[in-house]
Chain A
Amino acid sequence: SAVISQKPSRDICQRGTSLTIQCQVDSQVTMMFWYRQQPGQSLTLIATANQGSEATYESGFVIDKFPISRPNLTFSTLTVSNMSPEDSSIYLCSVRPSGRGNEQYFGPGTRLTVT
């Protein structure tokens, strides 16, 4: 498996501001993913971030709201822009290590509260 860390672990932000969440992996991985987990709901994929290419966003998520960077094979950031209370959620990054089939491993998550 992979060891994944996220920063910050939690934050409380004001409406209209932006927050950048960092994801660091202890080994090089091609595929990284960003998910949102809202209370009582399934984990929802926001986007897939592959190094060297633009992130691919799922239906309902747009780059202007959730810009993603993937500068190398061990690091990615997700920014939540112009936040509203509806963005309050847990944001998780995950990775699919090479040679492990379709297994995905998750970071500890970032708990975001927007007031």
Chain B
Amino acid sequence: QKEVEQDPGPLSVPEGAIVSLNCTYSNSAFQYFMWYRQYSRKGPELLMYTYSSGNKEDGRFTAQVDKSSKYISLFIRDSQPSDSATYLCAMSEPDKLIFGTGTRLQVFP
């Protein structure tokens, strides 16, 4: 069993939809949770960073962490074609980041 599981998609949605991206994990010691966005042929870009459980909102993006269920989510409201990218979840104990395989999102006009 992988430490971090993420559905690879692709997930295809119409512009304006609410997108839900999710990861599950097995290591209860993870404390830091991140979401990265990666456009084709670019490096990952840090979108959201959360410590421990709870919600964090930044513009159209909301990150949720449920440590009791070992489940994290990223919600994108009013999705735009420019949101089309691969979204990677990542988590860590203090140091080493463990990544999911990424979910490819396509937002069509």
Q: Which residues of chain A have a CB within 8 Å of any CB of chain B?
A: 1, 4, 33, 40-45, 48, 58, 92, 101-109, 111
Contacts and interface: CB of A to CB of B under 8 A. Distances in A.
B43 A45 contact: no
> Interface size class for chain B?
20 to 34
State the majority secondary structure of interface residues on A. loop
Interface of B: 2, 4, 8, 32, 34, 36, 41-46, 49, 51, 88, 90, 92, 94-102
A5 to B, nearest CB: 10
28 contacts: A1-B46, A40-B8, A42-B2, A42-B4, A42-B88, A42-B102, A43-B97, A43-B99, A44-B99, A92-B44, A101-B51, A102-B49, A102-B92, A102-B94, A103-B34, A104-B34, A104-B90, A104-B97, A106-B43, A106-B44, A106-B45, A106-B46, A107-B43, A108-B42, A108-B43, A109-B41, A109-B42, A111-B41
Given A92-B43, A102-B94, A106-B43, A42 B51 contact: no
Kindly name the residue among B2, B92, B95 whose own CB sees the greatest number of chain A CB atoms within 10 A: B95
A44 B8 CA distance: 17
